[in-house]
Amino acid sequence: MVDLFEKIKFSIILLARLQGFVSEPNPPLLTHRLFTILQ
């Protein structure tokens, strides 16, 4: 369970850092891809 929260936290931090640099794919799609990779 802790591992899941660590992945969520990591994804949110990464998305926040990339917000100004990434325009494609959009944030929801990028989040989905990140979770797919982290599984």
| pLDDT tens, position by position, 4-27 | 889 888 878 887 887 777 667 777
Q: For position 32, what pLDDT does the model report?
A: 82
How would you class 8 by CB atoms within 10 Å of its CB: exposed for 0-12, middle for 13-18, buried for 19 or more?
Answer: middle
Q: Any idea where the domains of the chain sit in the sequence?
A: 2-38
Residue 22 to residue 32: CA distance in whole angstroms: 15
Q: For position 35, what pLDDT does the model report?
A: 78
* pTM summary value: 0.50
For residue 10, the SS3 value is helix
Q: For position 3, what pLDDT does the model report?
A: 85
Residue 11 to residue 30: CA distance in whole angstroms: 9
Q: For position 26, what pLDDT does the model report?
A: 75
Q: Indicate if the alpha-carbon torsion angle 23, 27, 20, 8 is positive or negative.
A: negative
